[in-house]
Amino acid sequence: MKFSFQLATSALLLGWLQVANAAAIPMTQTTLADVQSQKGAVIDTRPSAFYNGWPQGVDGASGHEPQAVNLSAGWLSEMNDQQLQQWATQHQITSDRKVALYGTAAQTSAVQERLAKLGYANITLLSDALAQPKRLQRMPHFEQLVYPQWIYDLQQGKAVAAKPAGEWKVIEAAWGAPKKYLISHIPNAGYIDTNDVESEPLWNKVSDDKLKALMAKQGIKHDTTVILYGRDVYAAARVAQILLYAGVKDVRLLDGGWQTWSAAGLPVERGLPKEAKPAPDFGAAIPGQPQIMLNEEQARGLLNRKDASLVSIRSWPEFTGETSGYSYIKPKGEIAGARWGHAGSDSTHMEDFHNPDGTMRSADDIAAMWKEWHITPDQHVSFYCGTGWRASETFMYARAMGWPSVSVYDGGWYEWSANPKNPVATGERGPDSSWK
């Protein structure tokens, strides 16, 4: 499985120039209490990392204002007017509502300018934004999704929030030989081929013995913090989820993957990965978290329950049986009784979970999307897709969101459809089709 997703650097640069050079349109100021009393909307115009909870500065305010939605000024170059209007409609922001913005002067000016073009005239600045730390909200485990500057500062030995407790490694993950890695990668990053963690015929995870050998080769112990990134986020997520299964305690993802590092203009290097110092003793039994990786029988046990959800992270055409989604998977359809967790336009896209810059959509947006299909955090929730990549990405998001009981059905549709005795569903259907 292989797919590359990159945004044009020139477009990103134009977006940041737009933010920096946005016309300064005078705005009145208001307080959060005033906005709430008028049932207005609050928009955080900062990058999603800070909205999620990363402090701007080691001891800075952490999180976002109550009920605020995130519209980063950095996304504007990736959104045409129709897409911006769709975003506003989705978040119930109408032209007659009062809208309060906060962020830097450049960020708020850029967002105001674009919204004004669409007819939003009642726009103000939130004068008391981030002034009361106790009222700020954050994603429960925001630290599990890191951002480029955080990695760079960590590498430079600077003080960072949520610093790893001990040794740490940055590793790129991708399918096959490190072709793109050779041309450009994060300095001092290692490399893991996804073929080292999953194998044919069904692309399930490799044996525990092979995982143990991989840990030793990569110099990873159970208490090593592993920071993964990929040209495709879900490739890194697949490796991340399997490392967590093995027992690595602290595994993090670069939110948005390689494209966010590239867009940030941070240093890169080229060439082969350096030889890692072997770690002959993982320091703990493998697997350390067997409960986060389900087999076929365990997945079957979650179907048609109110306290559990087996969740398909596949495109709608895959879910309804219009296509299998893969050249090497012939059967079409879906696991009967599974709930649709969204994904993207096809088997190589995850737009439903991404902001315009490829980072994770807000936790509130994702939770609302899942709730429509009766997928809630009080359940045992297991994600699957065709062979595990997309499911692993949503697993990592749900974990960062603080959902307590999440897992991946490793075999997914590939394994399920190979057994003719397994029940299969096709055709259009709604959330109540799996609700008994």
31-77 pLDDT, tens digit per residue, is 999 999 999 999 999 999 999 999 998 888 899 999 999 999 999 99
pLDDT of 435 reads 75
pLDDT reported for residue 25: 56
CA distance 132 to 156: 31
Marked catalytic residue, from 129, 385, 396, 401? 385
Kindly list the distances between the CA atom of residue 374 and the CA atoms of 219, 275, 348, in Å, as whole numbers in the listed order: 41, 47, 25
Question: Does the pLDDT of residue 223 top 70, yes or no?
Answer: yes
DSSP type of residue 153: H
AA letter at 23:
A
Q: What is the DSSP string of 251-278?
A: EEEETTTHHHHHHHT---B-SSPPPPPP
* Type of residue at 224: T
* 141 DSSP β-pair partners: none
Stretch 277-289: mean pLDDT: 95
**DSSP one-letter string for 378-427:** TSEEEEE-SSSHHHHHHHHHHHHTT-SSEEEESSHHHHHHT-TTS-EE-S
Tell me, what's the pLDDT at 33?
97
User: What residues have CB less than 8 Å from 330, skipping those under 6 apart?
Assistant: 324
Q: pLDDT class for 21, splitting at 50, 70, 90? A: very low
In this prediction, residue 285 carries a pLDDT of 97
Dist CA 50 CA 61 (whole Å): 9
- Count of positions (residues) in the chain: 436
Coil, helix or strand for 108? helix
Q: What is the pLDDT of residue 13?
A: 36
Cβ contact 41:391 at 8 Å? no
In this prediction, residues 288-293 reach a mean pLDDT of 98
Mind listing the domains of the chain with CATH numbers? 29-135 (3.40.250.10), 142-287 (3.40.250.10), 291-433 (3.40.250.10)
Q: Across the chain, what does the average pLDDT equal?
A: 93
Residue 293 has pLDDT above 70, yes or no: yes
pLDDT value for 11: 38
What's the token pair of residue 222? Answer: 């159970």
Q: What six digits make up the tokens of 363?
A: 């936790």
Q: Is the pLDDT of residue 179 over 90?
A: yes
Give the tens place of pLDDT for each residue, 330-378. Answer: 999 999 999 999 999 999 999 999 999 999 999 999 999 999 999 999 9
- What is the pLDDT, as a whole number, of residue 434? 83
pLDDT for res 4 = 35
385 classed as catalytic: yes
pLDDT at 339: 98
The two counts, helices (H) then strands (E), for the chain are: 15, 19
CA 362 to chain centre: 9
Cβ atoms of 194 and 175 within 8 Å: the answer is yes
Sequence-ordered strand ranges (E) for 313-412: 334-335, 339-340, 380-384, 406-409
Instruction: Using DSSP bridges, classify how beta strands 225-229 and 69-70 pair: parallel, antiparallel or unpaired.
Output: unpaired
Higher pLDDT, residue 432 or 318 = 318
pLDDT of residue 58: 81
Report pLDDT for 433.
87
% of the chain with per-residue pLDDT over 90:
90
**Could you tell me the two tokens for 62?**
């952490």
